[in-house]
Amino acid sequence: MPEYRRILLDGAAVETVRDGDDLVAGDGRRVRAEDALHLPPVVPSKVIAVHLNHRSRVDEFRIGLPDTPTYFHKPTSALNGHGGAVVRPEGCKWLNYEGEVAIVIGRTARNIAPADAGEYIAGYTVANDFGLHDFRDTDAGSMLRVKGSDTLCPLGPGLVTDWDFHGKRLRTYVNGEVVQDGSTDEMTWDMHYLVADIARTITLHPGDVLLSGTPANSRPVRPGDVVEVEVEGLGRLTNHVVTGPTAIRSDVGAQPTESEEVLSTALGGDWEFRGIRPPKR
């Protein structure tokens, strides 16, 4: 399956094709993939993500799914690449990983049938839909700062075409240990459904990204942790967590919190008042 990567080469963003362990630019320049400075593999006009889709995640939270998907938006300023640093701002504690498959649009899509949606998909890449749950009590449920803060949307390492999304294993690792282990077959709504659903009212342009949901066991990470998401046939996306250079300003806006909502979401639905068990603080 062809794989395309965007890298920074001689100070410029360059599109390359993977050839074994090398990345080859259109002018013939070659660089070892492990030595390349990766950029997000696409430049989207928007990034849209589904809230809940994997059955294991729904079971973990002991809730029911709505009849149809619901979505949120991650601004493009949150984009990050393979090997990039994910920032947990100073004063925040509840930064969670969420390993996912990202759908990349290849043709302008508007008002299309699910059966035809595959014709509008350029390919797929690996994503980590990080969430900064310290801000879960603000933004009226939009999760703008939870999901949209800088660096919280790593994609990569490359865009893979001709990939069949059925029956593919998805695993997330923290410091080499498996922390999420799921499959695309546990998704309630598949890739084609998600594209067609959004395209009913929102025009999708080439390069746009849809995040398709995460399996159970999203948990907090801390500065110094290395987080990897591996999807069968798409590769492994690696990022490391760092502390932000400055604290969240306290003289303006909502501040980080540790409410029951924050703790229960960050720790997988361990709500004290549900009587299951107390949050692990």
146 with 64, same domain: the answer is yes
35 with 57, same domain: the answer is no
Q: What does the block give as tokens for 99?
A: 């390993």
**Domain presence at residue 195:** yes
**Domain presence at residue 278:** no
One-letter amino acid of 207: G
3 with 99, same domain: the answer is no
**Domain presence at residue 155:** yes
75 with 16, same domain: the answer is no
19 Cβ partners below 8 Å, 6+ apart?
30
28 with 48, same domain: the answer is no
CATH number of the CATH domain containing 245 = 3.90.850.10
Q: Are 88 and 241 in contact (CB under 8 A)?
A: yes
Question: Percentage of the chain with pLDDT > 90?
Answer: 88
The predicted pLDDT at position 12 comes to: 96
Cβ atoms within 10 A of the Cβ of 28, count?
Answer: 6
Q: Which domain holds residue 258?
A: 42-272
Res. 268 pLDDT band, cuts 50 70 90: confident
The predicted pLDDT at position 270 comes to: 58
CB burial string 111-124: b at 16+ within 10 A, e below: ebebeebeebbbbb
Domain count, the chain: 2
Determine which of 26-30, 38-42, 156-160, 273-277 has the lowest per-residue pLDDT on average. 273-277
132 with 217, same domain: the answer is yes
**Domain presence at residue 109:** yes
**Domain presence at residue 56:** yes
- What does the pLDDT look like over 61-103, one tens digit per residue? 888 889 999 999 999 999 999 999 999 999 999 999 999 999 9
Q: What does the block give as tokens for 64?
A: 């029911």
- What does the pLDDT look like over 186-244, one tens digit per residue? 999 999 999 999 999 999 999 999 999 999 999 999 999 999 999 999 999 999 999 99
Res. 274 pLDDT band, cuts 50 70 90: very low
Strand, helix or coil at 255?
Answer: coil
**Domain presence at residue 204:** yes
13 with 107, same domain: the answer is no
One-letter amino acid of 55: R
Q: Is the pTM of this model over 0.85?
A: yes
**Domain presence at residue 24:** yes
**Distance in angstroms (rounded) separating the CA atoms of residues 171 and 271:** 26
26 with 149, same domain: the answer is no
109 with 22, same domain: the answer is no
Q: Residue with structure tokens 């984009």?
A: 79
Q: Which long-range contacts (CB under 8 A, 24 or more apart) does 172-177 make?
A: 172/97, 172/98, 172/99, 172/128, 172/217, 172/227, 172/228, 172/229, 172/230, 173/226, 173/227, 173/228, 173/229, 173/230, 174/97, 174/221, 174/225, 174/226, 174/227, 175/225, 175/226, 176/226
- CA angle in degrees (0–180, nearest 5) for 215-220-224: 120
**Distance in angstroms (rounded) separating the CA atoms of residues 127 and 169:** 14
**Distance in angstroms (rounded) separating the CA atoms of residues 123 and 59:** 29
Residue 275 has pLDDT above 80, yes or no: no
14 with 84, same domain: the answer is no
> Which DSSP state fits 94?
-
Q: Pick from 86, 97, 135: which is nearest to 244 by CA? A: 86
